[in-house]
Each structure stands twice: as C-alpha cells, then as structure tokens.
Structure 1
Amino acid sequence: MTLLAERTTTDAADELGSAEVAVLPTGSTEQHGPALPLGMDFMAAEAFAHTATDREDTVVLPTIPIGVSGHHRQFDGTLYVSAATFERYVEETIASLADHGVRKTVVVNGHGGNTGALRRAARTLRNEETAFAPPWNWWDSVDDLAADLFDEDGGHADAMESSLLWHLREDLVRPDEFAAAEDGASDSWGEFSHGAPIGFDTIDFSESGAVGRPTQADPEKGAALFEAGRDHLDALLDWLAAQPLADCWPRDHK
C-alpha cells in the first residue's frame, strides 16, 4: 500500500478498509554532532517505515519528526517537545486512525528519548482497548549485528548511526568530520558517580554531541544494518497482522 498522505480521501476509504496494520514513523530533529544532520533519527525511522509500502496489508502514516530531545537543547538546531506532549500527540494520532478501523499500529521509532513516552502511549491505548501499538526501536533489532560490526558502546551519532545514514543519505553525511566528532565524544552514554547518574544533558559528558566511535562508520555496514532491521520489521508486521484484535487487549485477572 502506498503512503497514506499521498492518497485522496476516496482512495483512503478503500485502502484503510483492507489494512490490517499501520506503521507510524517517529524520530527527532536534534544535534548529531558535526558529521550527521539534525534529522538523522526521523530519517532513519522513515526509511525503515517506508519499506512496508510493498505490503498489501499495511498503511504507512506520515512521520512525526520532533520528539523528546530536551537533553540536547544546548546544541544549535535542536527542536523538542515535552514527554507529555509527545506522548499525547502519538496517542491521539493512533486513536484517530482507529476511528477509521485500523486498530493495530507499529510505531517505528528512531530516537531513544521517545521510548518512555511511546511505551506509556501504547499502554494507555491498550488499556482503553482503542488500539494496540507496540513501539519498535530499529537499533534494538540489530544490536547483535552492531556488536559484531563495531567496537563501541555508542549511543548517539556513533558508528552504527553514522553507517546507517551514510547508506541511506550519503549526501547528508560528512565523513571528514568523523574524527572531530570522535575527539569530543564520550565512550558511552551518560556520566555516573558511585552508581548515580549525574549527567542529565548530553553536553555534560560530550563536547561534540557524539557518543561512541564514528570513525568506524562504513556505508556497507550501514546497508547490512538496514537490511537486517527491515527484515525484523517485516516479521513483526507479519506477526501483528495475524493477531486477532481480541488477543491484543489486557488479560483479565483470574
């Protein structure tokens, strides 16, 4: 099925009637150091989501490009909304689709800061039996492959993200800035003292905004990551399309 936003309302009536599952890409517009564009996260989510346009049982929704990114606010260009605003926006978007009869959605997410809000939205929609909308973080589906490809803990504008976008949008990646990004990066996400987190904003532990080792990035490795993630998403959509809606709701306590 093609992208919902490209259809007329009369076309949508027919296509929504045959759709079993929707795909909603979410991401962010935030700093990704000197080598990657601000739109890295939503571009990645959108690329994965658009692979589902080949499916007859799936409708792909427009991308939500701004998310929960206040922890990057000290870096120029970062846009953000509160977790509560983002959660409510996603929840109501999915509920509006449910009004048209599509009540199962996979949220294809490209930004870690969105994760908590997406889980809360999914729980509310499920508890109210409005829709079943599990969030899918692309990097979680390829973590074993990434561990084989790169020597890093990573977390942001790292070799994994840089490789993926280098494959998807070579025109937007600046490989000559990878060294500068890495020079000012931290090895892993956050800063801790005696087990307590003491770094709440990215700038507290990363001067460049990057976390990881982007100099290890390679577009061929990015292609491998994309293909693996695409296959996992397709399998998830297969599974969800086959689930009876009644089996998606919370179980009664016995």
Structure 2
Amino acid sequence: MTLLAEQTTTVAADALEAAEVAVLPTGSTEQHGPALPLGMDHMAAQAFARTAADREDAVVLPTVPVGVSVHHRQFDGTLYVTEETFERYVRETLSSVTEHGVRKAVVVNGHGGNSAALNRVARTLRDEETAFAPPWNWWDGVGDLADDLFDENGGHADAMESSVLWHVREDLIQPDRLEEAESGASEGWGEAVHGANVGFDTIDFSETGAVGKPTQADPEKGERLFEAASDELHALIDWLAERSLEDCWPADHV
C-alpha cells in the first residue's frame, strides 16, 4: 500500500518514481452534532483517499485534519485555522511533492468550508506551472444518488454524511442520538432575510449543529454512496494519470 507516511525514504523513492498522481485528503475537526464525531470530515476524506493506495500510479499523502471551520466555533471541540493559513499549508505541501517528481494531484476534500481556499490553491499552482491539483469533494458526484436515497436538503451532519461515516467508521457513530440531532436541526444550510444571508455561524440556524434529516441515515446507503463516489474518484485519477502536463497548464493567448 502506497501510504507515503508509512514508507521508508528508500521505499518512497520507488513509489514516487512510479506515481503519476498524488492524493491529498483534507477535512476538518469540527462539531457534527451529538451523533457524529468531530473528525467526520477528515475521516471520510481519508477513507476515500485510501481507496487509491493499491494503485501503482498514485501515492496517498497524510491527511490534513484541521480546516476552515470558524463558523462552527461556538460548538465544543471545533478546531479551525484561517483560510490563508489553510491555503498556504496545502499549497506548500503539494509544492513539496513536486520536488519528488509528482506534479499532478487530487485534493480529496471532506469539508465544504475548505473549498474556496482549495480552488485558489489549484489556480495558483496551475498558473505557476508548479502542479495541477484540482480539488474533489466526495459529495459532488453522488448528488443524484443521495436524492434517491434521502428526503432532505441536507448540508451538515445530515443523513448522507451520517450514512457514509456509519459505513467507514461504525465504531464512532452514535445511532441512538440521531433523533436528538434532528430535533434541533435546520432543514437547509444557512438563513436568509430578504435575500441576504444572515446565518454567518451554524449556531445562528441550528441548535444541535446538524442540518437535514440525520434519522434517515443507514449504513447500507452509506456503502452505496461510498462506492459510487469512489468510482468517481478513481475515474478522475485515471484521467489525470493519462493527461500530459502540457495539457494541464493555462492555454496561451489566442
């Protein structure tokens, strides 16, 4: 298994020479209501990323466990860094991998709050022609399946997230508290007044920190979501592995 952190430097040399794509899991350590652990986001990202560990053309990097989560700060246990800190950390981590010859990457992201920073990282690295590293949110490719499985708008610690974690880390979910989570949850993310967003922090619109209908969570549905999203991830890695670096860089002026 090519989990970079578990290899010696001599073994890593061979793995990096063979690799076309680095896989970097990122997430958060933040509240996910009374039924899910604080590490939900980075644990999910890590689980998806590690499905690539048996590929000879990929190397899986250590997980970044703390992200941009200031909007959850009123709930106990939440850790967070600024967007600038997170952006710089991820960018420099990916830049360091290029020194070992791997210049294409997928950032497997488990936390929506990281998205803006990760998009800037991807653009900066591409503009510099340092690396091509598109971010990949595991939920983006399974929206239709989630709609078929659940009756919710969702957004955080919902049925979809709860189901996925129930599948990958059954030991950490508390099913008997899903009803409690839903009792104080909001139906959707945020709060709007006359077209303006006034839900700056999660506590502004959710008493328990959950959003959606977590009581609909089911581990078998989580397995279906995990497998479907993993297929999407591997298809992306295939695409990147086959793509030349020249085709990754910004186009010249017409």
TM tier, smaller: over 0.9
Number of the residue aligned with 2:199: 199
TM-aligned CA deviation for residue 66 of structure 1: 0.2
Structure-2 separation of matches of 1:194 and 1:120:
30
TM-aligned CA deviation for residue 148 of structure 1: 0.5
Number of the residue aligned with 2:30: 30
TM-aligned CA deviation for residue 14 of structure 1: 1.3
Q: Match for 2:26: what amino acid?
A: T
Structure-2 separation of matches of 1:135 and 1:42:
14
Give deviations 1:41-75, integer Å, cap 9, x for gaps.
Answer: 00000000000011110000000000000000000
* TM-score (norm. length: structure 2): 0.99
Structure-2 separation of matches of 1:141 and 1:53:
21
Number of the residue aligned with 1:80: 80
Number of the residue aligned with 2:177: 177
**Runs of 4+ displaced beyond 3 Å:** none
Give deviations 1:207-244, integer Å, cap 9, x for gaps.
Answer: 00000000000000000000001100010000000000
Q: Match for 1:171: what amino acid?
A: D
Number of the residue aligned with 1:236: 236
Q: Match for 1:172: what amino acid?
A: L
- Alignment map for 1:208-219 (pairs within 5 Å): 208-219=208-219
Number of the residue aligned with 1:5: 5
TM-aligned CA deviation for residue 88 of structure 1: 0.5
* TM-score (norm. length: structure 1): 0.99
After superposition, the CA RMSD in angstroms is 0.5
Q: Match for 1:54: what amino acid?
A: D
- For structure 2, list consecutive stretches of 5 or more residues without a partner in the other structure: none
Number of the residue aligned with 1:98: 98
SS in 2 for 1:246: coil
Number of the residue aligned with 1:128: 128
Q: Match for 2:19: what amino acid?
A: A
Structure-1 separation of matches of 2:37 and 2:181:
13
- Alignment map for 1:31-180 (pairs within 5 Å): 31-180=31-180
SS in 1 for 2:85: helix
Sequence identity (%) = 76
* Contact in 1 for aligned 2:2/2:15 (Cα 8 Å): no
Task: Tell me how many residue pairs correspond in the alignment.
Answer: 254
Give deviations 1:152-206, integer Å, cap 9, x for gaps.
Answer: 0000000000000011111100111111100100000000011110110000000
TM-aligned CA deviation for residue 12 of structure 1: 1.1
